[in-house]
Structure 1
Amino acid sequence: MRKPNVLRDNRDLRLLFVAQNLSFMGDWFTFVALAGLVQDVTDSALLVSLLLVAFSLPSFLASPLGGPVADRYDRRQVLIVVSVLQAIAACGLLFIGTTHIWLAFVSQGLIAAFAAFVRPAVEAAVPNLARDPDELRRANALFGSSWGVMLAVGAGLGGIFAETFGRQ
C-alpha cells in the first residue's frame, strides 16, 4: 500500500498549496529585487531600510483585518481578489526609474498590505479541504513549512534577478 500524499491525493489542497507558495515566493522576490534596485539607483542604505519598513509595516497594520475577512467571506474569492490587487500594485513597478523611485515604496507597501490577507485565508481553508484528521495534520505541516522555504527561494531568485538585470 502506498503512503498517502496530500499534494498528490487532494487536488484542492494541491492547488491551494501552489497558489500560496507562488504568493510567498513573489513577495520575497519582489522585496529583494526592489531592495537591489533602490540600492542601485539611490546608493542609499537608508532608503533600502525604509523599503523594509514599506514591506513590514503595511502587513503589520493590515493583519488584524485578515482573519475576520477570511472568516466572513468566501476564502477562495478573498485569495483571488487579493491576488488581482497585488498584480495591479505590482504594475506600478513597471514605471520605476531614477525619478520615480518612490513608486517602489508605494507598490511594495500595497503588495505587503494585501499579502496580510493571504495567510489567514489559506490557514482557514485547509481544514475545510482536508478529508480526514490525518490529512489535515499532514497538510498543516506542509503548509506551515512553506513560508520559510519560499523565503529562501523567492529571495534567492530576487537577488539573482537584481544582480543580472540591475536598472534595466
Structure 2
Amino acid sequence: MGEGGFGVVYRAQHKIWDQPVAIKAFTALSNAPEAYREQLLDLFVQEGKLLSALSSRTAAIVQARDIGTLTSPTGVWLPYMVLEWLDGCSLDRLIKDGNEPKGDRRTAHEVFQLLDGAARALALAHTRGVAHRDIKPENFFVIGGRLAPGVVIKVLD
C-alpha cells in the first residue's frame, strides 16, 4: 500500500476478527547485525507499547493492534507492527489532489477545529516525553478523504 524510508505497509485481513488491518514491516531493521537484533527488538517493542498506550487514549492516533517478528524462508529477520486499517487519504494528498469543492475556503477557526484532535494527540504524546519530529501533511490521515465538520484526522508515524 505504501513504502517509506523505514519500511513497507501492506493491507491484510485479520483471520480472527475478519477485518482489514495494516501491517507495517520495518525493512530497515532487517539488515541489522544479529548481535544487535535483541536490542533493536527491545526498542521496537517499547515503541509499540507506547503507541498502544497513546492510541488507547485518543481516536486521533492510529491504533496499534499487535507487534512481532518473523524470519523469512531465506533467513531475513523482519519486525512488524499490525495497525488499524484506515480508509481515506493523507492530508497532503487531499490538498494536492484538490478533492475539496472549488472555492470552498476555510476560515482559520474552521482549520483549527479540523486539526484540534490531531493537535491534542500530539500534546498527549508530549506529556509522555515523545516529540513527533516529522509533522507535515503526509503524516496526517483524513478518514473518509474529505474535510467536513466532525471528521477524524489521525496522526501517523
Structure 2 length-normalised TM: 0.27
Structure with the largest fraction of helix = 1
Q: If the length of structure 1 is used for normalisation, what is the TM-score?
A: 0.26
Higher relative contact order (CA 8 A, sep 6+): 1
More strand, by proportion:
2
